[in-house]
Amino acid sequence: MSIAWQIGRSIALSRALKQDPISSLLSSENGILIFSGKIISVTRMVGEGFTRGNVILESFSEEASNSTKRTLVIDFENENLSAILKGKEEEDDEVLASCPDLITILDKANGAPLGISDYKYGLRVNVIALRAPPVWTTERGLEMGGPRAFGLDFDYKPVVDADIEYIPPKSVWDLFSEE
């Protein structure tokens, strides 16, 4: 819960100070911006207690190199599971992020996080990936929450270099409790 609170606080503070919420968020968390673009397609199916599907994003033309727009596909099952940059051929696809790292789509205008029920055609968004806590990147953690645990056919690749020290979120209670 502390990480969710800190993400919300970071975005709220940046808005109040008229700063870029994405830059503020990424400077305070273990994450990176992986894509900016517009939602061009959303597919959802509900069954067995899960909402499954994908959202497809297209890069902004002003950010695309050589006037070639790039496409990002995010698969989800109640949460975003993978972010794959599509290549010309399937073998050219590049996994930019996957579970257990946290893949989050944020409204480009105000930095608000979007849940899968909020994905709509035409929304301009940023996609960020936040590093998973080390417990989730152990062999056992990946068995339970890695890409293969959700039927994806690739191994986990961390979004942040494993040599960079993980900084755990501070407990909200520790930050604001009075002694």
Are the beta carbons of 98 and 147 closer than 8 angstroms?
yes
Q: State pTM to two decimals.
A: 0.86
In a domain, 100, yes or no: yes
Q: At what angle do helices 21-28 and 2-16 cross, to 10 degrees?
A: 140
Query: SS3 of 9, please?
Result: helix
Burial class, 104, CB count within 10 angstroms (exposed 0-12 / middle 13-18 / buried 19+): buried
In a domain, 99, yes or no: yes
In a domain, 113, yes or no: yes
Are the beta carbons of 12 and 179 closer than 8 angstroms?
no
pLDDT tens for the chain, residues 1 to 179: 567 777 777 788 888 888 888 887 777 667 789 999 999 999 999 999 999 999 999 998 655 555 578 999 999 999 999 999 998 888 899 999 999 999 999 999 888 899 999 999 999 999 999 889 999 999 999 999 999 999 999 999 998 876 667 777 777 777 777 65
Domains of the chain: total: 1
In a domain, 23, yes or no: no
How many residues would you count in the chain?
179
Q: What is the DSSP code (8-state) at residue 123?
A: -
In a domain, 87, yes or no: yes
In a domain, 22, yes or no: no
Q: How far apart are CA 17 and CA 103, in angstroms?
A: 25
Paired tokens of 21: 């919420």
Q: How would DSSP label each residue in 13-34?
A: HHHHTT--HHHHHHHHTTEEEE
- H/E stretch holding 3 reads helix 2-16
In a domain, 4, yes or no: no
Domain that holds residue 44: 31-156
SS (H, E, C) 145-168: HCHHHHCCCCCCCCCCCCCCCCCC
